[in-house]
A and B are shown apart, each in its own frame.
Chain A
Amino acid sequence: MAHDHHHSHDDTHSHDETPHKHPPLRPDQDDTITYWRAMEIAVRGLLIKKGIVSADEVRRTVEQMDNRTPLQGAKVIAKAWVDADFRKLLLSDGNAACKALGMEEGFYKLVVVENTEKVHNVIVCTLCSCYPRWLLGLPPDWYKSRNYRSRVISEPREVLREFGTQIANDTVVRVHDSTADMRYLVLPKRPAGTDGWSEDKLAALVTRDAMIGVANAQHP
């Protein structure tokens, strides 16, 4: 345990240390070398030492992963809201639809599931954290949590309520567990009152959570 340097007046022990010349420190929380962190550092070091990858390539790839955001997905959804042919393509071949927009096609097969008055879709990966990263960026921490993964599969309506999303009982709640080679994206319902809106304006209503299915698209 880290030292606790209290200097309050009700301390009963005697102060035998010299006064500190720095503000009180909170222990760092970024220094936990877990088994898997040690493994990653060791493997990365070996790959670099053997000349298979360079440190700069590793950094660049991490940077690219961090730079992907849900704006990509929002663009796809907004296009599907205004263009019936594109919507059809997106629902039948998600990867081809991404390519048609000049975006990354994605390494995994993309299955787009459409929310309607009759069906509300929500995505989970109960085994780990599978997620359409090329369209949404890195998954949020809660998506990877045991709590979300175990509960959204068995009590989805309750979890959706906790996210502030009420689904009527006559609407089917359909959970999609991405266990293998597909990745899923929810096509949310287009909000009312957005007739004639441009794709850019519509895309601003499409949030990450709406594309995971724990929320609806924002209302204007």
Chain B
Amino acid sequence: MANADSIDPLFRPGDGVTVRAIYPVGHVRTPYYIRGKRGVVERLCGSYGNPEELAYARSGLPRQPLYRVRFLQRDVWADYAGAAHDTVDIEIYQHWLER
């Protein structure tokens, strides 16, 4: 749905995405360990106010699409000792994702 308050989703379930490897200061919800890693969109969770803005009492608008992205553990941790098919699913806002 086109809505001035929300940014349109760019990705669909099944799309491969890379988390941006950037290091801004402030309140950020993208954990360090996942930056620069490549995963697959599992689902679109909806659109939410940007926490990086909300944390400083700003409007958080326009809302950012939020995805659950699935990563293979062995792609996240070089020395992962568990099974090769183990995964980690993380919520990531669209402005942190690139193709």
Contact = CB atoms under 8 A, between A and B. Distances in A.
A157 B29 CA distance: 25
Interface stretch (A27-35, A165-173, A205-213): A165-173
27 contacts: A127-B31, A153-B88, A154-B76, A154-B77, A155-B80, A155-B81, A156-B86, A157-B81, A157-B82, A171-B83, A172-B86, A173-B73, A174-B87, A175-B87, A175-B89, A176-B89, A176-B90, A177-B91, A178-B91, A179-B29, A179-B31, A179-B90, A180-B66, A180-B92, A181-B45, A182-B45, A182-B91
A212 to B, nearest CB: 15
Nearest 10 pairs of A and B residues by beta carbon: A180-B91, A157-B82, A173-B86, A175-B88, A177-B90, A181-B48, A176-B89, A179-B91, A169-B83, A174-B87
B99 interface: no
Interface of B: 29-31, 33, 45-46, 48, 51, 66, 68, 73, 76-77, 80-83, 85-93
Contacts of A169: 83
Interface in A181-207: 181-182
A177 B48 contact: no
A109 interface: yes
Interface string A126-160: 11000000000000000000000000011111100
A158 B83 CA distance: 12
